[in-house]
Structure 1
Amino acid sequence: MTNSPSYPCYVGARGWEHEDWLGSFYPQDLPADWRLTYYNNFFTCCYLDYPAWAQQTEATLKQWVVDTLPRFRFVLEIPASLDESDHARLAILAPRTGLADTTVALRASCLWLPDVPDWRLLSAQIQQRLQTPGTSCYLVSSAHSVADLQQAMVLLEILGY
Structure 2
Amino acid sequence: MTNSPSYTCYVGARGWEHEDWAGSFYPDDLPADWRLAYYNNFFTCCYLDYPAWAQQPEATLAQWLADTLPRFRFVLETPASLSEADRARLAILAPRTGLADTAAALQASCMWLPDAPDWRALSAQIQHRAQTPGIPCYLISQTQAVADLQQAVTLLEILGY
- 1:62 is aligned to 62
Q: Distance in 2 between matches of 1:67 and 1:151?
A: 24
What's the offset of the Cα at 1:7? 6.2
- 2:131 is aligned to 131
**Once superposed, which parts of structure 1, at least 4 consecutive aligned residues long, lie more than 6 Å away?**
none
Q: Distance in 1 between matches of 2:22 and 2:38?
A: 12
- 1:93 is aligned to 93
CA RMSD of aligned residues (A): 1.6
Aligned length: 153
Task: Give 3-state SS (helix, strand or coil) of 1:87's partner.
Answer: helix
* TM-score normalised by length of structure 2: 0.90
- 2:11 is aligned to 11
Q: Distance in 2 between matches of 1:135 and 1:124?
A: 17
Task: Give 3-state SS (helix, strand or coil) of 1:138's partner.
Answer: strand
Is the Cα–Cα contact under 8 Å of residues 16 and 39 in structure 2 kept in the other structure? yes
* TM-score normalised by length of structure 1: 0.90
Task: Give 3-state SS (helix, strand or coil) of 2:94's partner.
Answer: helix
- 1:120 is aligned to 120
Is the Cα–Cα contact under 8 Å of residues 7 and 71 in structure 1 kept in the other structure? no
- 1:21 is aligned to 21
Task: Give 3-state SS (helix, strand or coil) of 1:90's partner.
Answer: helix
Alpha-carbon distance change, 114 to 42 in structure 1, aligned in 2, over 3 angstroms: same
Q: Distance in 2 between matches of 1:76 and 1:89?
A: 11
Structure 2 counterpart of 1:27, one-letter code: P
What's the offset of the Cα at 1:47? 0.3
- 2:80 is aligned to 80
What are structure 2's unaligned runs of at least 5 residues?
1-5
- 2:46 is aligned to 46
